Amino acid sequence: MAGSVNKVILIGNLGRDPEVRRMNDGNPVVSFSLATTESWRDKMTGERRDRTEWHNIVIFNENLANIAEQYCKKGSKIYLEGQLQTREYQDRDGNQRRTTEIVLQRFRGELTLLDSRNRDDAHNQESGAYGQARSANQNLGQQSPTQNHGGAPAHSSMKDYLDDDIPFGVD
């Protein structure tokens, strides 16, 4: 094989709120822990067993860092793609330490929120404040929960959204 691949794909839950720091050039660096849990049934006892792995995540990609900072919090379920990186550092006592992290580089990586658009909306809806929260978001120039990333209403068909001047049709 001519090359190699260093790619990590994880789906899990944040173990803590993202921590945001700034580099000297002002770019954000976001870090948090992510838990992935494997479940199985023990053949001998029939009991359900779980094993949780904790992963240290570091985001250098400015756009993904902003998403993590604004929308991720402890317990959020996310999908991410990054690379394994091991680095060495000195701890407070002067001991040499090594840590392995999943890093989303400046122009690489992916982060997808898997929870509902805003978990607080469900809570606000139960308390009767959903409409107020939604209109407040719209007043701030944010998308409403009924719009997708392209700006078209989520319930409209792609056929209605596409321009008629495109030389091919959508069936």
Q: Please state the domain count of the chain.
A: 2
Q: Are residues 93 and 133 in the same domain?
A: no
Domain that holds residue 133: 116-156
Tell whether 166 is covered by a domain.
no
Q: Are residues 82 and 143 in the same domain?
A: no
Query: What pLDDT shows up at residue 117?
Result: 60
The domain that contains 41 carries what CATH number? 2.40.50.140
- Of 1-5, 15-19, 66-70, 136-140, the one with minimum mean pLDDT is 136-140
Quick check: 2 pLDDT over 80?
no
Q: Are residues 13 and 81 in the same domain?
A: yes
The model's pTM is 0.65
Q: Are residues 85 and 136 in the same domain?
A: no
Residue at token pair 């992510």: 34
Query: What pLDDT shows up at residue 115?
Result: 86
Query: What pLDDT shows up at residue 13?
Result: 97
Q: Are residues 124 and 102 in the same domain?
A: no
Residue at token pair 């550092």: 89
Q: Which range scores top for mean pLDDT: 1-10, 82-91, 155-164?
A: 82-91
Q: Are residues 6 and 74 in the same domain?
A: yes
Residue pair 9/104 in contact (Cβ under 8 Å)? The answer is: no
Query: What pLDDT shows up at residue 153?
Result: 45
Which runs of E-coded beta strand occur in the chain?
8-14, 19-22, 28-41, 48-59, 77-90, 96-104, 110-113
Query: What pLDDT shows up at residue 118?
Result: 52
pLDDT bucket at 131, cuts 50 / 70 / 90: very low
